Structure 1
Amino acid sequence: MNSFETDVGRAICSGGFIVGVLLEIGILFAAGFDSDIFRMTVPVLCTLPYSTAWLADYQSGFIKAYLPRTGVASYIFGKFFASGLSGGAVELLGSWIYVLLKNDENIQWSPLLIFVSGMLWAVVAAVLAAMSDSRYIAYGGAFVFYYVMVILHERYFQSLYCLYPYEWLAPEHTWIFNEWGIVFLLAGLILVLLCVYDLILRRCIESV
């Protein structure tokens, strides 16, 4: 059984995914890409499709029937990357529909950076869900980390732009390899989070 394909299908077809896309479109029509409201809602909307899927399986007991058919590694991989891909897709699809409907050639946006940023914050929420066993911490925790990083940069570490979440969405500085430099940085952070997620879930699965 291909756990990854199953998880991606569940994530994309979820109510949270649809709600996230619709909210993204509404936010962009109301404020646009350059607004703080768009930037600050990225770590919230991307968590809606699948970041708490592990908790749903674990707390309902569904994992006991599902895990033997997939294997531990496949199960963990599927949950993690389905969360990340669906989170990035919410941001990307909502943004793309907005740009299509707006039909304004002057709109400046980066589909790649929006997708990867959404992916990062979705897996941050997934890790927090695994650590805390709480949906509320998963949904709110990614936003808290994001907000703290924004405040720290704007008030104390303005020269440390590489760790500024706004910069990841719309860079104002010169990066090595241009926007791909940001992608490589976020991909590295995602891989670190995968290691943490794998460690936490393996310990939880041992007690199932």
Structure 2
Amino acid sequence: MDGKRMLQGKGFYLAAALAAAALVLGTSFPTREAGKALEAGTFYRLLKEACGSQVVLFALPAAAVLPYGDAYLREEQLGFIRFLLTRRTKRTYLLDKLVTVPLGGFLAWLAAELAVLLLYFAIFFGQEATGGPNWDTISLLASAGLRLGLTAGILANVSAALAALTKSVYMAYGLPFVIYYFLVILRERYLQGLYCISPQEWILAEEYWGPGQAGLPLFLFTLLLATAALHGLSLARSIQEV
């Protein structure tokens, strides 16, 4: 099935590696004074702060589209579409893509976050002072990770829709990046009050999104469904011609 091929593909591993590298490069590492332990929970606090770094914000659109954004296009160019559609119905093929494409973007970032968390645990936990977990920081880390994953899924849907519409790998990989920064610049220079259009705000959550920022994940889930619908319509139109 598509999920297995996506997880075994080079694009997924490349995306996870790029995301992990961005998290590490975006980390502000602490300096430890001689004879003093680091603050308890340093290893997950560092990751939480890295999730909102400029390096991560820059790498996000690139890593989001790599796992499976151009899957349909590759299958068409290699001549596999007719073969795949004879083995299963067009509906099944479409549903597989609608699930696997955003899941690829989400899981690549999740895998990167878990890998970096384990790395920081191995490096810093032994240097930390004893103390219980800081659940507020852990909750903020989980929220930041969820927002990164959902935004990656949204961008992956956009990439797949563009692949089906334009039949161009360059458009599938490049336009999501352009759209991402167009929205960021549009908000920063012209529509400061319309913060919901900025993908960077989706990650940083600096503005007010309701009590406990609960409105932001709901907004991202809605946008994920909307971009999935766009992807589905684009792909359905393309496979009708096969």
Normalised to the residue count of structure 1, the TM-score between the two structures is: 0.89
* Distance in 2, Cα, partners of 1:41 & 1:69: 37
| Cross-structure match for 1:86 | 104
**Residues in 1 aligned to 2:229 and 2:53: alpha-carbon distance in whole angstroms:** 34
| Residue 19 of structure 1, aligned match among 7, 14, 17 | 14
1:145-170 CA-partner distances (Å, limit 9, x unpaired): 10001111111111111222112112
Alignment check: 8 A CA contact 2:209 2:216 kept: yes
How large is the Cα RMSD of the aligned pairs?
A: 1.9
Q: How far, CA to CA, are the matches of 1:75 and 1:84 in structure 2? A: 15
2: distance between equivalents of 1:187 and 1:73?
23
Letter matched to residue 230 of structure 2: V
Is there any run of 5+ residues in structure 1 with no aligned partner, and where? 1-5
TM-fit CA distance, 1:194: 2.5
Letter in 2 for 1:54: Y
Residues 119-171 of structure 1, C-alpha deviations (whole Å, 9 max, x = no match): 11111111111111011111111110100011111111111112221121121
Structure 2 Cα separation of the partners of residues 24 and 100 of structure 1: 15
- CA distance 1:70–1:181, change in 2 (3 Å): farther
The offset of 1:201, in angstroms, is: 2.1
Q: Distance in 2 between matches of 1:112 and 1:63?
A: 33
Work out the CA distance in 2 between the residues paired with 1:179 and 1:81. 27
- Runs of 4+ residues deviating >3 angstroms: 103-109, 177-180
User: Which residue of 149, 155, 180 maps to 1:146?
Assistant: 180
Distance 2:211 2:86 in 1: 43
Partner of 2:202: 168
Match status 1:129 vs 2:129:
no
1:29 Cα offset (Å): 1.3
Gap runs ≥5 in structure 2: 28-49, 125-133
State which drifts further: 88-97 or 198-207: 198-207
Mark the CA change 1:134 to 1:37 in structure 2 (over 3 Å): closer, same or farther.
same
Aligned counterparts of 2:20 and 2:207: Cα–Cα separation in 1: 27
Instruction: Give, as a single letter, the amino acid of the residue that structure 2 aligns with 1:23.
Output: L
CA contact (8 A) 1:40 1:147 kept: no
Is 1:45 aligned to 2:63, yes or no? yes
Of 110-119 and 176-185, deviating more is 176-185
Deviations 1:90-129 (A, max 9, x none): 1121122213312367786322111111111111111111
**CA distance change for structure 1 residues 164 and 85 in 2, over 3 Å: closer, same or farther?**
same
CA distance in 1 between counterparts of 2:145 and 2:179 reads 23
Q: Distance in 2 between matches of 1:167 and 1:28?
A: 18
Rg larger in 1 or in 2? 2
